Structures are given as structure tokens and as C-alpha cells.
Chains A and B, each alone.
Chain A
């Protein structure tokens, strides 16, 4: 069974640009969460999607947005990039929200560098 797939693996952008990251969850998984990982702030929750609806949102500015498609694939978008957005962006999938389905499986991430 294929794991969580994130594309691209590496990305270099300049300040002010926007970027879109893609995530394909494990087959059969319907819930997708996004996290930002930096050396200073660690792993921080961005948002969670289930059935094409945002279920939870972390404490990030509105420049960070996401969406989920009917096949459970998800994208996240960051507009007007800032230097501080340089990070590893991780996608995680689970079967569905709920107490018995909470095992999150992470992809290898997209390393974003903002110059």
C-alpha cells in the first residue's frame, strides 16, 4: 500500500510569490492534515480536511489556505511568501476523524525555501 505522497519534494521561491503544495493520502484515507516544521517552532498544526471541508484550523495567518478534493487529495497554498515561511511542510492522512481513527500517517514533506 503506497504511503502519503507529497509533491514537490523541494521548492525554492522568492518573497512575494505564492506556492501550492500537493498531498495524496493513503488509499482509503479520507482525512488530511497539514503541519509546518521548522527548527525554531517545531511541528505546528496548520489545518485538517475531511470530506472536502475544513474541520480544524491552526493559528496561522490567512495567507495559508488549503482545500481537499472529492478523491481526498489535498493542496495547500501560501500566498505572498515571507522569508519566515521557509519550512518543511508535512501532510498526514488518517482513515477519518474520530476517536478510533486517529492514527496519522505522515508523508516525507515538501521542503520550501523562500529567498
Chain B
């Protein structure tokens, strides 16, 4: 019940295309859903986050779509660039436990020029 399942494991997108990464969870106590980006040799960096009271949040080229009834959320990267090539992690945490993130397995994104 503590798992967050992420797909796909790897993704190849052409420059300018849309990258879509999906996550699903089971624990209804989760109420905070961030996405992290990690480059080799670096720690994860927060990209964007959402709470279940909204269905979509957009920040620049990054959009989270959230479906509370299906217990699914996804990251859309519009106009993908080679510099977006990295590993992306979805995560979730229970209410008021933001330091305790349950991470998905990660998606390795490669954006081809």
C-alpha cells in the first residue's frame, strides 16, 4: 500500500516533442505528490508538486495532471529539449510527513536533437 508505481522505465523523445511519465499509488493517505529531476552525479531536484485538491498544475513547460479517483498522476514535459535528458522520479507522502517521500522507480528520459 506504500508503493508508487512509475512508468515507463525509459523514454526517448524527439526535440520539441511531449514527454509523458505516469505514476499510480494505492495509499489514500498520500496528499502531496512531487516530481523530481536527477542528473548523473547530482541529487534529485524538485520540479513541480501538486496536492489532491487540484487536477492540474502548470509551471513553464512542466505540467502535472492528477486524477484522484483513479489514484494516478502524470508529468507532461512540453517542447522537450536535450537539456531535459535526465531521470525523473514521482513521489508521494502522507499528510504532514513531507520529509518521508515514497518514490517511484524512476524514468530515464532521453531527448534526441
Interface residues of A (CB under 8 A from B): 4, 31-33, 35, 42-45, 48, 50, 55-56, 58, 90, 92, 94, 97-99, 101-109
Contacts and interface: CB of A to CB of B under 8 A. Distances in A.
A86 B99 CA distance: 23
Given A97-B97, A102-B99, A106-B44, 12 more contacts: A33-B101, A45-B102, A48-B97, A94-B98, A98-B96, A98-B98, A101-B98, A102-B34, A102-B93, A105-B45, A107-B43, A108-B43
Contacts, number: 74
A22 to B, nearest CB: 15
Interface class of chain B by DSSP: loop
B99 A55 contact: yes
Interface in B55-113: 89, 91, 93, 95-106
Given A42-B105, A102-B32, A102-B93, A108 B98 contact: no
